[in-house]
Structure formats: structure tokens, C-alpha cells
Structure 1
Amino acid sequence: MSDPLGWGAGGSRRPGVVRRALPTAVAFLVVLCGLAYLRGDLQELIGTAPGSPRSAAATHPLYRGTGLIDARCDTLPDNSEADVRRTLNALSRCLDRMWATTLKEAGVGYEPPGEVRLVADPGEAACGIDDYDWAGIYCPDRRVVNVLVEEDRSFPMMFTLAHEYAHHVQEIGGMAGERGSEVFDEAWSRRLELQADCLAAVTLRTVEPRVLENQRLLAEGESDAVDDQAEGYRRSHGSGTSSAAWITRGESGGTMAACNTWSAPPDEVS
């Protein structure tokens, strides 16, 4: 007569599948939890954390493979305020030339943005977003640069155009793909945006230095704002103080390497 509990004479009970797998599953879960808890420490140890000089973002080939950017724009109109759209279109062509020449040094093929849209209303942008509180925006999926145009105010828009072009370079050069722990991680976003400020300064440093001085003053003024909208902007784009500092680095350094926000300590990209 067989034993209903599965015991045989002189034998032992065979553990079920769940009981056999349970110790392994528990051990695996413990390891995963430990890795999650120590993730930051492990990243620091192996050099992949944001701000580590050994991370992939910080050692991007474009920093080593490119030199001083030839920041000239001889086709700008004498009076940049007289016809803002003409000024921005001329600057766009110069930025294409600058970045094509620079990326070629590193063996990276440059493609101009799919479109440069100088829009009178945020709703005309190509990204299809509902948040219209911006002066410029880059659509990475379609590689379209959008700049909100206000007549008789060319200086801020020249910087905005150069900033959005920098996002285009980050995209085609692969720097925009070096994300943090999340796709929309704020620390990653600040490094990306502050680098775009710096690269914009690199390209404008001899084109129109007054644009950079104007932008620095605007950025430093933004640091004093205390409303929720300003705080949200600082979390995603960095403080005005940090922006002004990276603009200065780009203007004085003149290279992509001068704008390596990915190797900067957290207090310089806050």
C-alpha cells in the first residue's frame, strides 16, 4: 500500500519544484536588492557614474578628436537687429559650417538639422508637445531646431539657436545617448543642457561676444527667481550660476573638450 504522503519504505520525501527553486530565487533577489542599494558605489568603483572621468560620456571620442572650433560668421548682416530672421538664417548656415568642419576632424559625418523653424508662436514647433513655455526646442526624433522669434531682439535668439544646434550635435555625435540611470534623469538633463550652453558659447565667442555677455547677465538674474517654475527649470537645466560659468568656459576654451560637463563634479552642474 502506498503512502498517501509520498513516503516509501526506507525512502525520503522528494521536495516539490517550488521548494527546490525557492532558495535560489531568494538568493537572486538578495543579490538584486544589494546591487540596487549599492548601485552608486559600484558605479563610482568601476568609473561609470556621472561625473566620473572614466565614464563613457566623459571620455567621448569627440573631446579627444576635435580641436579649436573656427567660430566665424562673415555673412551676418551689419545690423543684426534690423532683420532678425535674416540674422538667424545667416547664423544657421555658419553653424552648419562650423560643426561640419569640427566633427570631420573626429571622423564623424555631420548632417544639418532636418529643418530650422523660426516660429512666431510655440504651437508652430515641430515636436508636437503641449508645453509651450520655451524660447527654443530641439526635436531629436525629427532632428528639427525650433526657435521662437521676437522681432528686434536678436541677441537672445542667436544664443537660443546656437544652443539648439548644440543639442543637434549632441544627438548626431552620440553624447545625447549617454544617459543617467533614467531616460529623464534630472542630473543627466542638467549635464546635457549646461553642455549645450557651453557649446553655444564656443560657436558664438568670436561671432558676437556681446551675445554671450547678455546671456550671462540673463542667466545670473534667473538664479534669484524663487517660484516653482524657476525651480523646475533649475532641476532640469541647471542654475543660472552654473549656466553662466559654463558659458564662460566655452568662450574661453573654444573647444568641445572645454564643455565636458559629464566629467564635472555635481556642484558644477547643479
Structure 2
Amino acid sequence: MKFNPDADLDTSGVEDTRGSGGGRSGGLPGGMIPVGGGIGGIILLVVILLLTGGLPGGGGSDEPVTQNTAAGNLGSCKKGTDLQSNSNCRFVFYQNSIESFWAAELPRRGKKYTRAPLRVFEGSVNTGCGPATSAVGPFYCPPDKRVYLDIGFFETLQNDLGARGGEFAEAYVVAHEYGHHIQNLYGILDRIKTRNGPASDSVRSELQADCLAGIWTNHATTVPNSSGQPLITELTEDDIARGLDAAASVGDDRIQSKTQGQVTPESFSHGTAEQRMRWFQKGMDSGDMTACDTWSANSL
């Protein structure tokens, strides 16, 4: 994955609250449920980690986890060249590219696009859905229309879920959460009534968000910034493979196998590894939102 060093970056849609004290500790209150909370049911995973100190047979990563704690505030990311001094500027690239795409795509379809800031936090954060901790994993909060991300999640993705990791694996996760924002703008999230089961509304919503992430991926190398320059200049086959691998790593069956030693489809909330890869790939192949109708699909 290559970023344009000459690109101008827009930090107005990125809120970096790390080091600001975050918010109160504690989970999200009942009834105020974030979407994509724990992109693959990470809440259960973290509970297991806290109780046992780790997962049996974790690992599997073939790329070192990027150390993020020493990097500067994302508000300093103004140019593509700032990546050289602050590797976390890549998250501004992701956010700029994803929002720039949807801000152009939705009006083309007759729908107004409303911005959704990416709020980067560490440990805990206050949200429109209530106080949350990193244990929730990346999530989208419909009431305040924000995507929430603790960058430390990607260490969990690699070290405990066995994902290969890499920049595009990160971009997939961010794009998935923005997929939930698109659903919110279309009123689709109001359709979620059943939250568990292999064909539940929750699973259909999550798979659709994977597909929408694929739609952005299809166009990623052509999405310009406000100056008309492409933000991302190259995605390789290896990048795509890492994105698909990340999608598989957060499949319900993969996580349940690691945390429970067995798979219980009746408790699925996000879809299987195979389903998540397939719907992500479907979006990448088509580049068109009409390919992402998981709600009328007889077979997921």
C-alpha cells in the first residue's frame, strides 16, 4: 500500500483524544448499542484475555505490529510526507480517502452525505452511545455519527486473532465502520431487530458493512483529496490478501473457536470468516452499492 507523499491531508475529520484523559471507564449502557462494536465480537475476546492472560495458539502474524504509542498527535498530519515522522498519519490517509469517496458517491445517487469524524482514543472514551472502553473494539455510534478507534486494537488483531496485519488490514477495519455510517444515513440500521443467529439482522448488517468497505477498496487508488491528487497510489495483491485475511480473522466462527473451543451459530452476530471475506470481495469486485444487498439475500 502506497500513499501519495505530495498529498494534502485534512485533519478536520479526525479527532485524536489520546492523552486527554478519554472518558469514564465502564461499558456501554444497555439500549445504547454501538454498531460494529468489536468488529468481530471483541468484547468476548477481551473478557477471555483478562481472565486467562492470553489465547491458546494465538499468533500467526507475519508482519511486526506497528508501535503506535510514540507517534505524535494526528493533528500534526498535514502532508503526505508527515508519514516519515509520524507513522500514525496513515490513519488520516484512510479517513480522508474513505470519506472523500462516500462524499462523492452518495450525492451521485441522490443522497446527501453527512460527515462522520474518526475519533481516535486510548483506553476509554465518552460517546453518544455512552462511555466505552477499548474492550469494545472499533465501533460506529449512530447518535453522534462518529467512528471510534483505539489503535491498539490492531495489536489484538495480529497477536491474539492471528491476522497477518499490515496497513490495508487497518484500512479495511476503518472502512467497515464507515460502512455502518452509510447504513445509518440510509436508515438501514433501524432494521436491526434480531442480534444473534446465522441469518440475524445483525449478521446481515455486518456483512453489508464488509461489502461497503469493498466498494471503497475498488475505488481507493482513484479517490482524490480536495486538491485533486490521489491519496492512495497503489494497492498490491498482497494488500488485498491482508484485508481479506483481516476480515476472516474477525469471523464469528474463528473467534468462537479460539475463545470457546467450539462454534455456536445461534450466537453469531457478525458472520463467519468465509462470509466476511466473500462479501468484502463482492464489494471489491463490483464497486457498486447495489451488490451489497444482504437484506434480501436468501443465502448469506
Fold match (TM-score > 0.5): yes
Given that 1:195 and 1:261 are in contact with CA atoms closer than 8 Å, whether structure 2 keeps it comes out as yes
How far off its partner does 1:89 sit? 1.2
- Deviation of 1:141 after TM superposition, in Å, equals 0.8
Residue type at the aligned position of 2:141: C
CA distance in 2, matches of 1:135, 1:229: 21
Change (3 A) 1:99 1:185: same
Once the 2 structures are TM-superposed, how far is the Cα of residue 77 of structure 1 from its aligned partner?
4.2
Q: CA RMSD in A?
A: 3.2
CA distance in 2, matches of 1:232, 1:78: 47
The 2-side partners of 1:82 and 1:229 are apart by 43
Where does residue 202 of structure 1 map in the other structure?
215
1:168 & 1:155 partners in 2: Cα distance?
20
Please tell me whether residue 99 in structure 1 is matched to residue 102 in structure 2.
yes
Q: Is the 8 A contact 2:216 2:287 kept in 1?
A: yes
Secondary structure of 1:124's aligned partner = strand
Distance in 1 separating the partners of 2:80 and 2:137: 22
Amino acid at match of 2:148: N
Residues 1:80 and 1:256: Cα distance change in structure 2 (over 3 Å): farther
Provide the rounded CA distance (Å) in 2 between the counterparts of 1:159 and 1:82.
Answer: 24
Give the 3 Å change call, closer, same or farther, for CA 213–262 of structure 1 in structure 2: same
Distance 2:82 2:239 in 1: 14
| Separation in structure 2 between the aligned mates of residue 143 and residue 229 of structure 1, nearest angstrom | 36
Structure 2 counterpart of 1:136, from 127, 135, 138 = 138
Distance 1:93 1:214 in 2: 21
Out of 173, 198, 204, the residue aligned to residue 191 of structure 1 is 204
- Provide the rounded CA distance (Å) in 1 between the counterparts of 2:84 and 2:217: 16
Counterparts of 2:111 and 2:241, CA distance in 1: 31
**Cα distance 1:109–1:120, how it changes in 2: closer, same or farther (>3 A)?**
same
Aligned: 1:174 with 2:175: no
2:243 to 195, 208, 215: 215
Distance in structure 2 (CA, Å) of the matches to 1:230 and 1:139: 31
The 1:93–1:224 alpha-carbon spacing in structure 2 relative to 1, beyond 3 Å, is closer
Shift of 1:94: 2.1
Q: Which amino acid aligns with 1:193?
A: E
Are 2:125 and 1:124 aligned? Answer: yes
**8 Å CA contact retained: 2:254, 2:272:** no
Classify the secondary structure of the residue corresponding to 1:133: helix
Q: State whether structure 2 residue 111 is matched by structure 1 residue 108.
A: yes
Amino acid at match of 2:206: E
Using the alignment, how far apart are the partners of 2:133 and 2:242 within structure 1?
26
**Counterpart-to-counterpart distance in 1, 2:242 and 2:97:** 21
The answer to whether the 8 A contact 1:149-1:157 is kept is no
Q: Rg: which structure is higher?
A: 1
Tell me the percent identity: 24
**Cα–Cα, structure 1 residues 110 and 82, in superposed 2: closer, same or farther, change >3 Å?**
same
**After superposition, what is the alpha-carbon deviation per residue over 1:184-243, rounded to whole angstroms, capped at 9, x for unaligned?**
465000010011111111112344354432132234355445134985797100011100
Select the structure that is richer in helix. Answer: 1
Q: Which amino acid aligns with 2:242?
A: N
How many residues are paired up? 189
**What is the CA distance between 1:183 and its match in structure 2?**
5.7
Candidates 283, 286, 290, aligned match of 1:253: 286
CA distance in 2 between partners of 1:125 and 1:231 (Å): 33
> Is the contact between residue 139 and residue 147 of structure 2 (CA under 8 Å) also seen in structure 1?
yes
- 1:27-55 C-alpha deviation (Å, 9 max, x unpaired): xxxxxxxxxxxxxxxxxxxxxxxxxxxxx
Q: Of 87, 92, 110, which aligns to 1:89?
A: 92
Indicate the structure whose relative CO is greater, using CA pairs within 8 Å and at least 6 residues apart.
Answer: 2
Unaligned runs of 5+ in 1: 1-74
Contact 2:214 2:281 in 1 (8 A): yes
CA drift of 1:261 comes to 0.9
TM-score normalised by structure 2 residue count: 0.54
Give the aligned partner of residue 60 of structure 1. Answer: none
- Give the equivalent residue in structure 2 for 1:32: none
Which amino acid letter does the alignment assign opposite residue 118 of structure 2? V
In the superposition, the TM-score normalised over structure 1's length comes to 0.60
Question: CA 1:154–1:106 in 2, change beyond 3 Å: closer, same or farther?
Answer: same
Give the CA deviation at 1:167: 0.6
